[in-house]
Structure formats: C-alpha cells, structure tokens
Amino acid sequence: MNVDLVVAGSGFFGLTVAERCAAGLGLRVLVLDRRDHIGGNAYSEIEPETGIEVHRYGAHLFHTSNERVWEYANRFTAFTGYRHRVYSTFKGRVYPMPINLGTICEYFGRAFTPDEARALIAAQAAEVTAPANLEEKAISLIGRPLYEAFIRGYTAKQWQTDPRDLPAEIITRLPVRYTFDNRYFDDTHEGLPVDGYTAWLERMADHPNIEVRLNTDFLDLRDDVVGNVPVVYTGPLDRYFGYAEGELGWRTLDFALEVQPTGDFQGTPVMNYADEDVPYTRIHEFRHFHPERDCYPSDRTVIMREFSRAAERGDEPYYPVNTAADRARLLAYRELVAREDGVLFGGRLGTYKYLDMHMAIASALGMVDNKLRPHFRGDSRLTNGGPGGSGGSSPQEGHGGVDE
C-alpha cells in the first residue's frame, strides 16, 4: 500500500487529519469510508424536486469560540450570517428556546423583570435539594412548571425512558437567560457554509496527496493495513475490537423527509415538540437555514420529522448513552486501545463522546500537532494514551438537543 497514512472515516475529524497531514506534512493519505459519500453526518445534498439543500442526518449548525478552528474552517468556506434560534410547541402554543425571559413571560402569562423572573425560578427550583435522577436535577435547575412543559415529554421521547429512571448527570445544566436573547448559541462565531456542507467537505479532501475511497469498510482491510501503515480510526470503538467488551450504548435518529405544497411550513428552521403524545421530537424546515438563497421555490418546501430511539447494531449511532455499564465497557476498551500500536482513535465514534463539529475539528488539529507530526518527524512512536488521547480539546458531552 503506497501511502503514508490511512484515515478510516471522512467526517470532520477524519478529513481535518487527512488535509493537515497532506497539505501540512506532505504525506500521502488514503481516506476510507463505508458510506457512498464523504462528510459523515455533516453531509448535505440537494432535494431534487425543490432544489433545497437538505442535511441528510439532521440539522447541523456551525459555531465556535475557538479562533484556530474558525480560521481553519474559513480556508475552505465562507459563512453566512445565520444565527440559530429554536422554538418549542407545547399544548398548542409556541415558545422561544432555550428558556429565556420571553419564554418565562409567555408561559406564566405576565411581564416579569429579570429580577422577578430569577426569584420565581429560584422559588420553584427550591423543592429539590439533593437530586437523585434526571427529573429532580432538572427541577432543581429550572423549577417544576418549566420542567413539566419543556423537558419532561421531550426527554422521554429522546430516551424512551421516564426521566425519573434516568441518571441526574445526563443534564448537567439547563440554560436559562434572564433577558429576551433567544439565540441558541453563545459562541463568538456562527454561520452556515455559503455553498453548503458538502462543498466545504469536498474542498478539504481536494488535495493531490489525498485519495478517498467510498463504499469501503476499513475493517475489511485491517489485517493488510494495521502494522504496516499508521492509521487514524474514527469508526465505532466497540466494532473495531469485534465487540470484545460488549456493545456501547447509543441513541440513534430516524428521519421522515416530506415535500410540502407550501412556500413556508412552520416559519422557522427548527421547531421542537415538547408534548409526549407527539411521536417526533422536532421538525426541520431546511429553506430557513439559507434565507439568502433566492433560487428556492415559493410554492414548495422540504421538512424533516425527527424520531429518537435506542440504536441497534447496524444503526447509525448519534448520542452516547453513557450509563454506568457503558463507562465500565469504555474503560475496558481503553485498555485494548492502549495496546494497539500504530492506530490512533478519534472522532465521535472512536472516542465514545458527543462532539460538535468545531470540537471534532479542534480535536483533530490537536492529534496532528501532538501525535502525528512528532511521529512522522521521527521524534516519537505512534502510541495511544487511550481513545481520548489525541492531544485535542476536551469536549463536553452534549444532551443532544440540536445536532451540529
């Protein structure tokens, strides 16, 4: 195999590694992907009937406060001025999310000052002092009324489990803004790629030292590659080791795409549905991600309903469940990883962490700086300190409210 590095997976992590090693280190890089397209879950495509760009695997919103990541992304794409705002439907009424002063005023039916709203939520949250499960933790943060309206049903649908049976650590924080600011993200930089995600990803892979092979499973070639060529593996960690320590738990998503005979179905890019008797968690309407595009039809629009369920083998994993049993299995897999010389594990699947796009890019840049560059300069062996030992950032685990 006449290459210097094999990268298994062409998502943002894998393509960042490939591009930096090809352009920055002059390496010949082979990128393999089981799918028929590059880009992993960030892949976007044009819906043929309407010409509207669709995010095949759910809405992806780019945002970051990491200046290095922002500068790197701008090498391959310009960004629109898009700012993400989400609304939630509960009992036939619509509220801005995340919870802010507008949500509180609308829900309780009166005008509050910021101090009055803080006092109200503090009083309602005081009923729980030592939370033992997700429900109690959420109530301790935002009070019972807002929990019952916006968190309970949505969470039950996401996890298909009563929130009282879920661990408290699943929700580490619930943002509440005591202003009317309803932006979803607080990061310094935010926007959507002007030409779409696939164009951005294709530019990252467009280097003479990079070869991309689609419809190719790295594990079918592993015996010919591992030990002969350095590898960066971004596929499922448990699958790499043949599920030797058991299967890690993931949530997956199912999508139902529809072309609707109207120019505007819901008036916003993402509408959450908090009522437990509504089977889907949210509806995406993709035309609203790019209001600057005047080529979209005025009489048709594309929506996508999103459903959450437990992942089974063969499903696309999205969110790590991260139960106590999962954490025990992960520790066992880390022991196997530490003995796997010549292979680095990264990305969402390879580390069993939920990574936003900017986190994946930051972690990949760290892996190149701290592992791959020293190795190819002859300064160090290519070894692991565990699946998270890429030398990148330390991503926070997400609750899965919005894909990125």
At 176 the three-state DSSP class reads coil
How many C-beta atoms lie closer than 10 Å to residue 336's C-beta? Answer: 16
* DSSP state at residue 263: S
Q: What is the full DSSP assignment across 370-386?
A: IIIHHHHTTSS----SS
Say which of 306, 326, 403, 404 is annotated catalytic. Answer: 306
The values of phi and psi at residue 174, to 5°, are -125, 110
DSSP state of 100: B
197, 296, 318, 354: which one is catalytic? 354
* CB neighbours of residue 49 within 10 Å: 10
Provide the 8-state DSSP code for 347: H
Is-catalytic flag, 251? yes
| Peptide linkage before 98 cis (omega within 30 of 0) | yes
Angle between helices 114-125 and 134-142 (to 10 degrees): 150
Among residues 53, 245, 326, 356, the one annotated as catalytic is: 356
40/35 Cα distance (integer angstroms): 8
**191 phi and psi angles, rounded to 5 deg:** 165, 175
Closest CA to 162 of 170, 172, 153: 153
Residue from 20, 56, 152, 282 carrying the catalytic annotation: 282
Element (H, E) at 124: helix 114-125
Catalytic annotation present for 177 = yes
Q: Which of 20, 56, 152, 177 is catalytic?
A: 177
316 is catalytic: no
Q: Among this protein's residues, is 293 annotated catalytic?
A: no
Residue 201 Cα distances to 22, 62, 290, 308, angstroms: 15, 13, 18, 27
Strands in 108-244 per DSSP E: 189-191, 210-213, 231-233
Integer CA distances (angstroms), 391 to 133, 227, 261, 364, 386, in order: 33, 22, 49, 8, 11
Measure the CA–CA gap between 139 and 194, rounded to whole angstroms.
40
Residue 282 is among the residues annotated as catalytic for this protein: yes
User: Choosing from 36, 110, 115, 173, which is the catalytic residue?
Assistant: 173
38 CB-near residues (< 8 Å, 6+ apart): 10, 15, 31, 198, 201, 202, 205, 212, 214
Catalytic-labelled residue, pool 251, 329, 334, 348: 251
Q: Is 93 a catalytic residue?
A: no
Q: Is 173 a catalytic residue?
A: yes
Kindly report the number of other CB atoms within 10 A of residue 300's CB atom: 18
Q: Which residues are catalytic?
A: 173, 177, 251, 282, 306, 354, 356
